[in-house]
Structure 1
Amino acid sequence: MRQPAEEAPILVRLPPHLVVLFPGADRLVALPARSVAEMVDGLDALWPGMRERICDETPAIRRHINVFVDGRRAGLSTPLAPGADVFVITAISGG
């Protein structure tokens, strides 16, 4: 019996402002995840404390963070297809 092919990981692109807080973190990360929440769990497993930087205590994605999946804004419950392109973007403000 033939084994099913392993699903392609998602690709997560992290902003420099977030990566600098976690020594050894990469800007481009490939990991298995079926939802944005699982992606955050995977990132936190690689770099403990990253969940708290991306999510608040409710839990929800923080107001100053945006997550886009294949060009569409996403929340923690957003499903991820194998090979999905995920961008984590920090808001920039100034005056």
Structure 2
Amino acid sequence: MDGKTAREKADEPRARVLVRLPPHLVVLFPGADRLVPLDAGTVDEMVDALDALWPGMRERICDETPSIRRHINVFVDGRRARLATPLAPGADVFVLTAISGG
């Protein structure tokens, strides 16, 4: 928790970012797009915005602690991100699913 009230969070500026979703996630949500422009100040707010568009997406990206799931990686402008990572205007955000196997 960051200790901010809902009103303080609502007053913070939001950045327009471009979110790139993986095909494995998009197919689970009919009507979802691979490229999604959103207004969000942090990765956590971005996940909330995605969930508002496609309910249930937050549970696919985040676990109950909450943090980004182990098999999901989020990169902001080429750097690995966490839910608290701030988003600058024009940030390029990639949500990637881990690939494993043998």
- Compute the TM-score of the two structures, normalised by the length of structure 2: 0.85
Partners of 1:44 and 1:82 in 2: CA distance = 21
Identity of aligned residues (%): 85
1:9 lines up with 2:36 in the alignment: no
Paired residue secondary structure (2:58)? helix
Partners of 1:84 and 1:34 in 2: CA distance = 10
- Compute the TM-score of the two structures, normalised by the length of structure 1: 0.92
Taking the TM superposition and a 5 Å limit, the aligned residue runs for 1:39-78 are: 39-78=46-85
Partners of 1:28 and 1:8 in 2: CA distance = 16
Two-structure CA RMSD over aligned residues (Å) = 1.0
- 1:21-79 C-alpha deviation (Å, 9 max, x unpaired): 00000000001000000000000000000000000000000000000000000000000
Unaligned runs of 5+ in 2: 1-13
Counterpart in the other structure of 2:5: none
Unaligned runs of 5+ in 1: 1-6
Paired residue secondary structure (2:36)? strand
